[in-house]
Amino acid sequence: VARSLMVISAKLGMHFTIVSPKELWPDDKLKNLCESFAKETGSVLSITDSVDEGVKAADAIYTDVWVSMGEEALKAERVRLLTPYQVNAALMEKTGNPACIFLHCLPAVKGEEVTFDVIEGPQSRVFDEAENRKHTIKAIMLATL
């Protein structure tokens, strides 16, 4: 998800930051592609392993499951790598932005990539996001008929 969001953010001229361990950063091919889009649109892209630096002044925090279907063998390593990046109340507070929202493509593993209080809290927009995705899919289906 982060890679797709990086591409569309670069194309739309958005500010976008990936915060993750260096082992999971996008490859140079994707970074170069996004940087070429950013030059045309004025997008500001950054990648960091520092949570404090990466979430500062964020308008939205987006995360995904740590282990995708078919990658179950990677679970222990992913949990080890990603636990410091768990989206929790302390991370949301580090944004310094009380209007910052939380997004997730769902389904989420509550207690792993995000804590219950964040995904079920007032900053969460995950269910609005899911509903919007439904309507987007319907529009694409209609356009292709």
For the chain, give the secondary structure using H, E and C: CHHHHHHHHHHHCCEEEEECCHHHCCCHHHHHHHHHHHHHHCCEEEEECCHHHHHCCCCEEEECCCCCCCCHHHHHHHHHHHHHHCECHHHHHHCCCCCCEEEECCCCCECCCECHHHHCCCCECHHHHHHHHHHHHHHHHHHHC
Domain span holding position 94: 2-144
Indicate the number of domains in the chain: 1
pLDDT in tens, 48-60: 999 999 999 999 9
pLDDT in tens, 67-96: 999 999 999 999 999 999 999 999 999 999
pTM for the predicted model, two decimal places: 0.92
* CATH code, domain carrying 62: 3.40.50.1370
